[in-house]
Amino acid sequence: MRLLVVEDHAPLARQVAAAAVEAGFVADIAADGEEALFLGETEPYDAVVLDLGLPLLDGLSVLRRWRATGRDMPVLILTARDGWSEKVAGLNAGADDYLAKPFMMPELVARIQALVRRAHGRSRPEIVLGRLVIDTAAQRALLDGVPVRLTGLEYRLLAYLALHAGAVVSKSELTEHLYAQDFDRDSNTLEVVVGRLRRKLGEGAIETLRGQGYRLPPVV
């Protein structure tokens, strides 16, 4: 899962990105509205944390332009504690949720996770696929009730396939959603990771459709 953190206060941006990474995301940071607008229009983010008070281009303008061009990723706006008008303006511009500063980082992470789940039609943290359960809140997988030891990349790949269970996900889509912008994206690595997951979950857990991509069955 990829998260865009749009915040001009560098220490806070780094804190949010670090908390997101700890929660199983990969995170890019934009420090001004123009960079945020460009990244949001060109990169396939699963969610965005957007501060409204940005240099060069304000957050509301960025959000309105994203929505006007059909960009529908979930957006959580950061507002001032007493900025009720900002909250209303943000929601009217197309935001999905808001959080007032200062905030507790666990709440921010929980709200981001909830937005991503709802964007895929899921309300609960657990994704149940027969014998396989993905707990997105705890970032773990259970097979027949037994925890499966996964690396960070293995978990992210499995969780993304689980959110799209039953659908074919191409290698390029996986690559775009599993790596940050400045990471060397090698699609061959995915084959290695999928191979490791099959050894841990069973050969039939992840299907390969030649020339199309991978699919996690609705029931494993």
* Residues β-bridged to residue 27: 3
Q: Cis peptide leading into 217, omega within 30 of 0?
A: no
pTM summary value: 0.90
Closest CA to 23 of 104, 137, 142: 137
CATH class of 126-215: mainly alpha
Domain ranges for the chain, please list them.
2-119, 126-215
The string of DSSP codes covering 174-187 is HHHHHS-TTS---H
Closest CA to 188 of 169, 171, 206: 171
**Opening angle at CA 192, ends 188 and 197, nearest 5:** 140
CATH homologous superfamily for the domain 2-119 = Response regulator (3.40.50.2300)
Hey, do 2-119 and 126-215 end up sharing a CATH topology, with the first three levels equal? Answer: no
Q: What is the pLDDT along the chain (220 residues), one digit of tens a residue?
A: 899 999 999 999 999 999 999 999 999 999 999 999 999 999 999 999 999 999 999 999 999 999 999 999 999 999 887 778 889 999 999 999 999 999 999 999 999 999 999 999 988 999 999 999 999 989 999 999 999 999 999 999 999 999 999 999 999 899 889 887 766 666 678 889 999 999 999 988 999 998 899 999 998 8
